[in-house]
Amino acid sequence: MSLARPASSATWTYVDGSWHEGNVAIVGPRSHVMWLASSVFDGARWFEGVAPDLDLHAARVNASARALGLEPTMTPEEIVGLTWEGLKKFDGRTAIYIRPMYWAEDGGYMGVPADPATTRFCLCLYEAPMMPPSGFSLTVSPFRRPTLETMPTNAKAACLYPNNGRIIMEAKSRGFDNALVRDMLGNVAETGSSNVFIVKDGRALTPAANGTFLAGITRQRSMLLLKEAGFEVAEATLSVADFLGADEIFSTGNHSKVVPVVRIEDRDMQPGPVAKKLRDLYWAWAHSTPTG
């Protein structure tokens, strides 16, 4: 019987010391992660011959593992090296999603917390075209982001993502692509799948990192690139009203880097000049960065 499961695009997975083609079966019904969600991951990108900030993504997955009580078994440098090894298995025509992961195989006290000694690692690479920069629509979600007191918001943990999934599904049920998500105080935190910026009177503003969402690597890189280009950039406490009255809205994230918002609620918008400039800056920076 084959261990592989169907995959929707070309996929290679490194686990237990070797590469396997496809969506390899690697956990069972007794695996701690299967029923108690003890997994973390990170997402990097390869496109057009480059994998920007791959080292930071590799370091972050290890930090996420520790935050969830797991014990990383790979160094960031080993993850980076494996990634470049695996990328050679693809034809180079389609963008690749790079997903290192850790999870627990067994539990500790009464089976509930993860047993860090049973931490396992895999690296999954698969073809995933990037979203075109034509833009997407936003509504305001009725659901909220949790706080660190209630969920491991300091990790890129799989257990957080069912909430993101219902945020996006609810938005789509009302004819929108995605949604703004507020924290428990009512301030905007992010979208259902990315960090978010507004532009008002020439200033680029993004929600202040307050522990309810991950201040993403692409977000941080975007802020730096805009500042270096002479833009005024700041973190701020932002309300829904700030977004409704913005001159421009765009998102940043690993999946498609920089994408403008072209509708928020019933207001149509045009892709703005700051988002376009940032996308150009990002691509230029990415292609100037040494690769593996």
Output the domain CATH number for residue 46. Answer: 3.30.470.10
The least confident of 5-19, 122-136, 223-237 is 5-19
The reported pLDDT for the residue numbered 289 is: 77
Residues 102 and 217 reside in one and the same domain: no
pLDDT band at 1 (very low <50, low <70, confident <90, very high): very low
The reported pLDDT for the residue numbered 4 is: 53
Does pLDDT of 94 surpass 70?
Answer: yes
Residues 29 and 144 reside in one and the same domain: no
Does pLDDT of 3 surpass 70?
Answer: no
- Is the entire prediction scored with pTM above 0.85? yes
The reported pLDDT for the residue numbered 132 is: 87
Residues 117 and 141 reside in one and the same domain: no
Residue 257: strand, helix, or coil: strand
The reported pLDDT for the residue numbered 131 is: 87
* Structure tokens that stand for 51 in this block: 């994998």
Residues 86 and 140 reside in one and the same domain: no
Residues 150 and 282 reside in one and the same domain: yes
Region of 135 on the Ramachandran plot (φ > 0 left; ψ -120 to 50 alpha; else beta): left
Does pLDDT of 21 surpass 50?
Answer: yes
In the chain, the percentage of residues whose pLDDT exceeds 90 is: 93
Residue 262: strand, helix, or coil: strand
Beta-strand ranges (E) seen in the chain are: 4-5, 11-15, 18-21, 23-24, 39-41, 44-46, 96-104, 119-127, 136-144, 178-182, 188-191, 195-200, 203-207, 232-236, 248-253, 257-264, 267-268
Residues 147 and 117 reside in one and the same domain: no
Q: What is the CATH number of the domain that holds 240?
A: 3.20.10.10
Phi, psi dihedral angles at 231 (to 5 degrees): -80, 150
pLDDT band at 292 (very low <50, low <70, confident <90, very high): low
Last residue of a domain, one of 92, 127, 162: 127
In the chain, the percentage of residues whose pLDDT exceeds 70 is: 97
Residues 90 and 195 reside in one and the same domain: no
Does pLDDT of 290 surpass 90?
Answer: no
Does pLDDT of 158 surpass 50?
Answer: yes
| Separation between Cα atoms, residue 104 and residue 280, nearest integer Å | 40
Residues 143 and 255 reside in one and the same domain: yes
Give the number of domains in the chain: 2
The reported pLDDT for the residue numbered 2 is: 44
Count Cβ atoms below 10 Å from residue 274 Cβ, excluding itself. 23
Phi, psi dihedral angles at 47 (to 5 degrees): -155, 145
Last residue of a domain, one of 127, 153, 188: 127
The reported pLDDT for the residue numbered 108 is: 80
Q: Supply the range of the domain harboring residue 257.
A: 136-288
pLDDT band at 111 (very low <50, low <70, confident <90, very high): confident
Last residue of a domain, one of 127, 147, 175: 127
Residues 140 and 284 reside in one and the same domain: yes
Residues 239 and 271 reside in one and the same domain: yes
Residues 278 and 162 reside in one and the same domain: yes
Q: What is the mean pLDDT of residues 36-44?
A: 97
